[in-house]
Structure 1
Amino acid sequence: MWDAAGNALASAAMFNMVVSLVFIAISWWALQVFKFDLFIRNVNSVQAKLLQLLLSVFIGHGVASFFIEYLNWTTMLRYIF
């Protein structure tokens, strides 16, 4: 069914998804210590939690993209020599 290229593509996609979810979770954890009450009236509202979730996704996706690109760049270095 799957050829070698399909397996490599599927495993790369799975790796990227897992890395993204891990960095989103780390961003959520890190944002727990941020004092949102300085900027938001009702910190315990659904809107405040949604904002925190969106910030986590935004930050986590950015960090995951950087990590994945950096990993790809390092694997391309073998073609220099």
Structure 2
Amino acid sequence: MTWFTGVVVYLLIWWMALFAILPFGTRPDAEGDPDAGGWRGAPVAANLGRKAIATTILAAVIWVGIWALVRSDWLSFRSGVFSLPGP
């Protein structure tokens, strides 16, 4: 895996992990006041900084697993079950 491919894979994993982590710990505002800028059902405290850090850590762990899988011979298109028949 080249560095460019690694960065692209990490960013894709990061975005998917972000959308998986966003709902955790979110409590809706039951008494939202539209005149004050709030709305019923909007999160009281989104904690986006904490969720971004958690997403970064989770994405790094998943990326290391994918990198190890790509580097290993367990999943190889050059030899083994997934290889093309030779000439």
TM norm structure 1: 0.56
2:21 is the alignment partner of 1:27: yes
Q: What is the percent sequence identity of the aligned residues?
A: 5
Structure 1 segments, 4+ long, off by >6 Å, are none
TM norm structure 2: 0.53
Unpaired stretches in structure 1, ≥5 consecutive residues: 34-42
Q: Which structure has the larger Rg?
A: 2
Aligned length: 59
Say which of 67, 71, 78 aligns to 2:73: 78
Q: CA deviation at 1:77?
A: 2.0
Q: CA deviation at 1:26?
A: 1.4
Higher helix share: 1
2:64 is the alignment partner of 1:66: no
| Structure with greater contact order relative to length (CA < 8 Å, sep ≥ 6) | 1
